[in-house]
Amino acid sequence: MTLVFRGRAVFAALLAALALAGATGANAAIITSHDDQGRTITFDVRAPVVDTEWYASVLRAAAHGNEISNVTITIVPEPQIPAFCGGQDAAACYSRNGPTIYVPAGKSRLLETILLHEYGHHLDTVWHVPGVPELNGTPTWWADRGMASLLASNQVAFDYSLGWSHSIGEVFAEDYAYIHTHSRYGITWLSPPDAALQRDMFTELGTPTATISKANRKGVRARAQLVCNETVVVTRTFRKGQARRTFDIPNLGPATCDVRLVSSVATTLSYTLHISLAVEST
């Protein structure tokens, strides 16, 4: 729904049919979502019945910036991952060509970690440590992790000559995933990021500490966003059993606005959104 208005807007959203089962996603389709700042998240869906909003909710809650709009998340059936990623043991992969993240279709705690690991590689390509070859993480991470010393002592490398777990890029990607999920950590010779490193990484990346799916665990079923001139003006969440929310936005306009409804649950649901609008001119 697109609205054009100016002045004070009182926006009431009524959400219905929360319990109806439905299908999201599509086969071989480009589907877009948005983060809480209105940045576009692009999915290339090559598997049937994919809930792209589940993937979007993971990325939306993670530390990121404008680079989220420069990558395509390609979702394929899990058995096809080796063909896309070039290895029978691959769970997912990142390619700078595009750039593109290849991940399997599904929903699980493990898949959250895998998706964030690959997004960590994408972040690595846009953050640079002065005077250090890529891939090298981010400047604060490089310093806090003591990477210069580890490199000098031949414990890490910029490639895979010392093994997967000693690749600097893989250490950063695992650290990035871990600070969000606090689950599986694949670098067995290093301890996971401690509280200080986690704090510094979130500070550097410009995002406060967030826990993946935190909104879902609090019972949030969906969020309604008022997006004006490509900027999210306000967001309201719908919890289980909650059907009505009101936005009272002063000094709005002139603006062209969209009302967007975004699912926040891991199951596929269909929604009906009823909009009423009152505009008080100034």
Amino acid at 188: T
Tokens 């009505």 correspond to 244
Sign of the alpha-carbon dihedral angle for 98, 68, 231, 277? positive
Residue 13 to residue 225: CA distance in whole angstroms: 10
> Model confidence over 90-149: pLDDT tens digits?
999 999 999 999 999 999 999 999 999 999 999 999 999 999 999 999 999 999 999 999
SS3 166: helix
Whole-structure pTM value: 0.69
> Model confidence over 227-248: pLDDT tens digits?
776 566 667 767 666 667 676 7
Measured in whole angstroms, how far is the alpha carbon of residue 232 from the centre of its chain?
A: 16
Give me the mean pLDDT over the 149-175 stretch: 97
pLDDT score at 95:
96
Amino acid at 246: T
Residue 24 to residue 105: CA distance in whole angstroms: 13
* Inter-residue contact 95 to 72 (CB < 8 Å): no
pLDDT reading at 3 higher than 90: no
Residue 232 to residue 226: CA distance in whole angstroms: 6
Q: Could you give the C-alpha distances from 159 to 7, 163, 171, 185, 192, in angstroms and in order?
A: 57, 8, 12, 20, 21
pLDDT reading at 226 higher than 70: yes
> Model confidence over 46-70: pLDDT tens digits?
999 899 999 999 999 999 999 999 9
Residue 84 to residue 93: CA distance in whole angstroms: 8
Average predicted confidence (pLDDT) for the chain: 82
